Chains A and B, each alone.
Chain A
Amino acid sequence: MKVTLIDYGAGNLPSVERALLRLGVPTERADTANGLAAASAVILPGVGHYGALIRALDENGLRDALLASIQRGVAFLGICLGLQALYETSEEAPELRGLKLFPGSVRMLAGAVKLPHMGWNQVRRVPGGSRLLEGIEDGAFFYFAHSFAAIHQSGGHPNGVLATEIRATCEYGAEFVAVAEKGNVLAVQFHPEKSGEAGQSVLRNFVRLAA
């Protein structure tokens, strides 16, 4: 199996490639809708500005192609901004539309002392567990680098609605979504490609789920 990485110019794309290479998984890059047509597993890496990601998806016709492949049942993993893009909107670029696969919006971690939320923080599963975190101890540390997040409101959702896609959370200023899973749509706010052994395990789990 080959993993297709959406190439919109994200700085962490080569790191994700290297991490998959270490697992012995071949990758290819797709920067157009055509590149996604035959994909069997897709990763949307992302780092930087939400607006840059959404604009790049729209300008290159990748939005519809990505949604179509998800519709077909292709396993999808969003990383960092790739998770945030799955919600309806983001405070970082309120004029733009997200992919709207999950309800709610992404907001600034305003309660935090310092932003970005930068470094290694612990991730806790919600009841029911997580497929991406299988085999990884609860409370394991992952590497985060972001200022915006899908903020979890007491037992609920970014917008206060019960959300079944939330599989694990992290806390920094506020409790936010660290891992989201719904069918073939999987996403993590942290950077598995930079999270040591625990991160490698998340990528390995994704590849296994995609196979």
Chain B
Amino acid sequence: MTLARRIIPCLDTDAERVVKGVNFVGLRDAGDPVELAARYNAEGADELVVLDIAASRDRRPTFLQTIRRVAHELNIPLTAGGGIRSLEDARAVIRAGADKITVNTAAVLRPELISELSAEFGAQAVVLAIDAKKIGTRWTVMLSSGRASTAVEAAAWATRGAELGAGEILLTSVDRDGTQIGFDIPLTAAISRKAAIPVIASGGAKLPRHFAEVFRDGFADAALAASIFHDGRQSIRGLKQFLADQNVPVRLPC
């Protein structure tokens, strides 16, 4: 019996439409979140992530409505995030139907937020999103969708996040995001080895072999991708069959 490696499609939304970006900029419309969610649920996705990339206050009710509509379609776990700054923000997202929440910038600015969320919802509901970029010789935690750097080192932050009560890390390589040249294997391996909690690798996926590499050489527990699934180039079913043939343990869709 083995814990399956997870394949997680991600819907980056501007509150009500799915958009796709290259290196976090240049957004294009990629469809309806509810339709995509239903398709991925049926295709054998292990979880679904929905992010509000605009995360503006006045669009919040629209995003919550998106979560509600998406949750209705799923019988797999749903993670939602983007702009969660407080316990109150998190409550609204969980109440709308998310099983887990991701926190990013707000947790870097005030790490105790992780403990507060973990105390209220349990560690299994708190996903610490880390956007990392290689600056010089070290992986640096980035904020504001990868545009602003911090003095924080990614592996140290991952360790701290786990101690504070996060249950998972969603690790995005800012260097690789949108490039489609493959996951950042050294980054993923470095964080996965250090962190006592599961790591979801993100950024750069295009080919099935990229996923095999991030599980085998990057020690990722899960892998996330967006646009390659949205435009139908890569089916989740086909990807999982490829991984199974490569002896990566996956849950094959029935």
Set A114, A121, A141, A195: member contacting B75, Cβ < 8 A: A195
Closest Cβ of chain A to B251, distance in Å, is: 4
Instruction: Tell me whether B76 and A121 are in contact (CB under 8 A).
Output: no
Query: What CA separation (Å) do A193 and B168 show in the bound complex?
Result: 21
Instruction: Tell me whether B1 and A171 are in contact (CB under 8 A).
Output: yes
Residues of B within 8 A of A114 (CB): 195-198, 221
Query: What CA separation (Å) do A33 and B121 show in the bound complex?
Result: 24
List 19 other contacts, CB 8 Å, given A114-B195, A139-B1: A11-B94, A14-B95, A15-B99, A18-B71, A47-B124, A48-B121, A114-B198, A114-B221, A115-B197, A119-B46, A119-B198, A121-B1, A121-B3, A143-B46, A143-B76, A145-B99, A194-B76, A194-B99, A197-B75
B2 within 8 A of A: yes
Query: What CA separation (Å) do A172 and B2 show in the bound complex?
Result: 8
Residues of A within 8 A of B76 (CB): 143, 194-196
Instruction: Tell me whether B124 and A18 are in contact (CB under 8 A).
Output: no
Query: What CA separation (Å) do A19 and B71 show in the bound complex?
Result: 11
Size range of the chain B interface in the assembly: 20 to 34
Query: What CA separation (Å) do A13 and B1 show in the bound complex?
Result: 29
A122 within 8 A of B: yes
| Cβ-closest chain A residue relative to B5 | A119
Instruction: Tell me whether A48 and B75 are in contact (CB under 8 A).
Output: no
Residues of A within 8 A of B222 (CB): 119
A205 within 8 A of B: no
Residues of A within 8 A of B46 (CB): 119-120, 143
Closest Cβ of chain A to B115, distance in Å, is: 13
Q: Which of B71, B72, B99, B254 has the most CB of A within 10 A?
A: B99
A22 within 8 A of B: yes
| Cβ-closest chain B residue relative to A81 | B122
Closest Cβ of chain B to A63, distance in Å, is: 21
B218 within 8 A of A: no
Taking Cβ atoms with an 8 Å cutoff, the residues of A that contact B are 11-12, 14-15, 18-19, 22, 47-49, 114-122, 124, 139, 141, 143, 145-147, 170-172, 191, 193-200
| Cβ-closest chain B residue relative to A112 | B3
Query: What CA separation (Å) do A124 and B1 show in the bound complex?
Result: 8
Query: What CA separation (Å) do A11 and B72 show in the bound complex?
Result: 15
How many A-B Cβ pairs are below 8 Å?
Answer: 100
Query: What CA separation (Å) do A177 and B195 show in the bound complex?
Result: 27
Set A14, A15, A49, A121: member contacting B2, Cβ < 8 A: A121
Q: A11-B94, A194-B76 are in contact. Are A117 and B3 (CB under 8 A)?
A: yes
Set A122, A191, A195, A197: member contacting B1, Cβ < 8 A: A122
Residues of B within 8 A of A11 (CB): 94, 99, 121-122, 125
Q: A11-B121, A48-B125 are in contact. Are A22 and B75 (CB under 8 A)?
A: yes
Residues of A within 8 A of B121 (CB): 11, 47-48
Give the top 3 A-B pairs by smallest Cβ distance, nearest first.
A48-B122, A145-B124, A141-B251
Residues of B within 8 A of A145 (CB): 77, 99, 124, 167
Set A12, A19, A121, A191: member contacting B4, Cβ < 8 A: A121
B123 within 8 A of A: yes
Residues of B within 8 A of A12 (CB): 99
Closest Cβ of chain A to B100, distance in Å, is: 8
Q: Can you list 24 contacts pairing A with B, beta carbon distance less than 8 Å? A: A11-B94, A11-B99, A14-B95, A15-B71, A15-B97, A22-B75, A49-B119, A114-B198, A115-B196, A116-B197, A118-B198, A119-B4, A119-B222, A121-B3, A121-B4, A143-B46, A143-B77, A191-B77, A194-B75, A194-B76, A195-B75, A195-B76, A196-B75, A198-B254
Query: What CA separation (Å) do A90 and B221 show in the bound complex?
Result: 27
Query: What CA separation (Å) do A87 and B42 show in the bound complex?
Result: 36
| Cβ-closest chain B residue relative to A139 | B1
Query: What CA separation (Å) do A116 and B123 show in the bound complex?
Result: 8
Instruction: Tell me whether B75 and A14 are in contact (CB under 8 A).
Output: no
| Cβ-closest chain A residue relative to B124 | A145
Query: What CA separation (Å) do A11 and B92 show in the bound complex?
Result: 11
B230 within 8 A of A: no
B60 within 8 A of A: no
Instruction: Tell me whether B251 and A118 are in contact (CB under 8 A).
Output: no
| Cβ-closest chain A residue relative to B250 | A120
Query: What CA separation (Å) do A12 and B71 show in the bound complex?
Result: 12
